[in-house]
Structure 1
Amino acid sequence: MSRLVLAIDTATPAVTAGLVRCDGSGDEVLAERVTVDARAHAEQLTPNIVGALDDAGLAADRLDAVVVGCGPGPFTGLRVGMATAAAFGHALGIAVRGVCSLDAIAVGTTGDVLVVTDARRR
């Protein structure tokens, strides 16, 4: 059975929204929108979601789940991503799941992996 998932990550300066079709044979990225601006998470996330849906030719009511990056990252960016994911999940009546952003970055790699991101703590 195929599932359509909205993926959101706001743990870094990249405000990311993507649509992924998941089935037993693998995952397919249908569309993604990324805006790199550490100070525009709130302004860019929803337009990126809407743009990705448009790019994929899909309506939001077709979504089966939302996955959101849980950090580590700056509090404000994470709050925007999690609140937006929760709002979509609540409005559409679909599951919302959190994923460690470092795990998401490392997925698909082999062997030992070290993921390093800028914590922006000077």
Structure 2
Amino acid sequence: MINNIGKITLYVNNQDEAKKFWVEKLNFVVKFEQQMGPAMKWLEVAPSENEFTTFVLYDKNMMAAQNPKINLGHPSIILSTNDIDKTYDELKENNVEVGELMKMPYGSMFKFNDQDGNEYLIRQD
């Protein structure tokens, strides 16, 4: 099932300024940075190269355009799994409210809600 807390998304006004803050002021390293189209960049930072859990510095305006209902006032938590299909099936069997299983070129993922309606994402990279 779930084996790590993978990523915590921080919604930022400017990815380049956020990157500069985390890297230059807190000595974090850029773990992953890739253009995901003309207007979107995926950017992850962490305290070290060996750290599994990362902060995803995600453009706040881009997320608002993609999902107008999302709460941008708090981090989004992304959990990691080695077997997304099995995890999806197990959560459904446990009567967890799950969203659609999405298979993307950069990873497979699905959303689920806890007992209070808080949303999480599980991803297999």
Q: What TM-score bracket applies, with the shorter chain setting the length?
A: under 0.3
TM-score (norm 1): 0.24
Structure with the higher fraction of residues in helix conformation: 1
